[in-house]
Amino acid sequence: MEAQIQHIIYFNKPIDHVFDYLTTLSHWAKWHPATICVSGQTEQPAQKGDKVSETVKTAGIKGNVSWIVTACQRPRFWAMEIMSLSMPFFKKVKITISYALTPKNGGTELTRCFSYRLPSMFLRFINTVYFRHHLESESDRALNRLKELIEE
């Protein structure tokens, strides 16, 4: 089963500024509540082919995620996908995150798409009763915090 969570948020900052902050992965722990730390190439905007490792805690479960950047078309589009996921119950889940940015009214509109594929009936059930709602709420908090940081 493929699931998708999409959010749209507006930043009162130019597209280049939003793109560069968002794709500089050392910032992630500052704005995303699930991110504990990120290692690898994290000090400049991530480019296609860059690989990073992230330590996360979401829904009460801690784990490690290895990501690869699959697309980078500065300043309009950026995406990454999981190479490996070390979390109990979720090892075979596939995740892709993409960001589409559009200049709008002197600022930037950002569309974040979190896509995930759940390989088992058990995970599909957990997704229906809890996990999807948790991910949506976590993403809302993350993007609101990102907006605060970018617009400071």
Nearest residue to 99 (alpha-carbon basis) of 69, 63, 56: 69
pLDDT score of 73: 98
What are the tens digits of pLDDT across the range 80-97?
A: 999 998 977 677 889 899
For the beta sheet containing 51-58, the strands, ordered from the edge strand earlier in sequence to the opposite edge, are 2-11, 107-117, 94-104, 77-86, 61-73, 51-58, 35-40
d(CA 106, CA 11): 9
Nearest residue to 97 (alpha-carbon basis) of 118, 113, 75, 116: 113
Q: Is the pLDDT of residue 99 over 90?
A: yes
Query: Domain 2-151 belongs to what architecture?
Result: 2-Layer Sandwich (3.30)
User: pTM of the predicted model, to two decimals?
Assistant: 0.91
Domains of the chain, by residue range, sit at 2-151
